[in-house]
Amino acid sequence: MRAYYYDNKPGNPTLPHEGESIDSAVLTTMGVLFYHIPIDSEGKWEAHVQRIATHRDYKHSDVVETSRELLGETYEDAMEKVWREHLHEDEEIRYPLAGCGYFDVRELPTDRWIRIRADAGDLMVLPAGIYHRFALDSDEYIKTMRLFKEEPKWIAHYRSAETDQNPNRIKYLNDFNHAERVQLVAI
């Protein structure tokens, strides 16, 4: 996992758009959690992921593969949906099994985009109510395990004045947007 400020330059979101690097502790103060669990041929990674799922009370999972080839004519629409800034009312837990993707999250309190590169083996937890978006990398392929507390669902609430008042957004801000938060300097 690598994290840095998104450079905000125009261009394809599958490009790195690298800006100033940031320490992962900045993300932790925003409720974003990381675990690096290398995928091994013996399947030991499965037990590690299951421990995290059990600890966080997740009961369901699925595996999805996304690529231009697999999605065909629906690829552009699918990528537009996940690239558009949104939040979820549940945590979003993703564990790439192959390929790579970029999760961009809004920094508190600045609202700047932070880009997180998640490679195979990088389990990431985004808290409910955090604004974020997703893009594949330039290989345009990812195979990801998704974890859910209940039956699998993916409901995006796209950013708007109404979404800013969503109870999960308000809770997120109350939990993580503290004025006394120390800004960590770039590494």
Global pTM value: 0.91
- Beta carbons within 8 Å of 132's beta carbon, 6+ residues apart: 85, 86, 87, 92, 103, 104, 105, 106, 126
In order of start, what are the domains of the chain with their CATH numbers? 2-173 (2.60.120.10)
> Pick from 47, 70, 53, 58: which is nearest to 142 by CA?
70
Please list the pLDDT of the chain residue by residue as tens digits (187 residues): 999 999 999 999 999 999 999 999 999 999 999 999 999 999 999 999 999 999 999 999 999 999 999 999 999 999 999 999 999 999 999 999 999 999 999 999 899 999 999 999 999 999 999 999 999 999 999 999 999 988 777 799 999 999 999 999 999 999 998 644 434 333 3
- First-to-last C-alpha distance (Å) of the chain: 14
Structure tokens at 118: 């998640």
Under DSSP, the state recorded for 30 is T
**Whole-angstrom distance, CA of residue 66 vs CA of residue 62:** 13
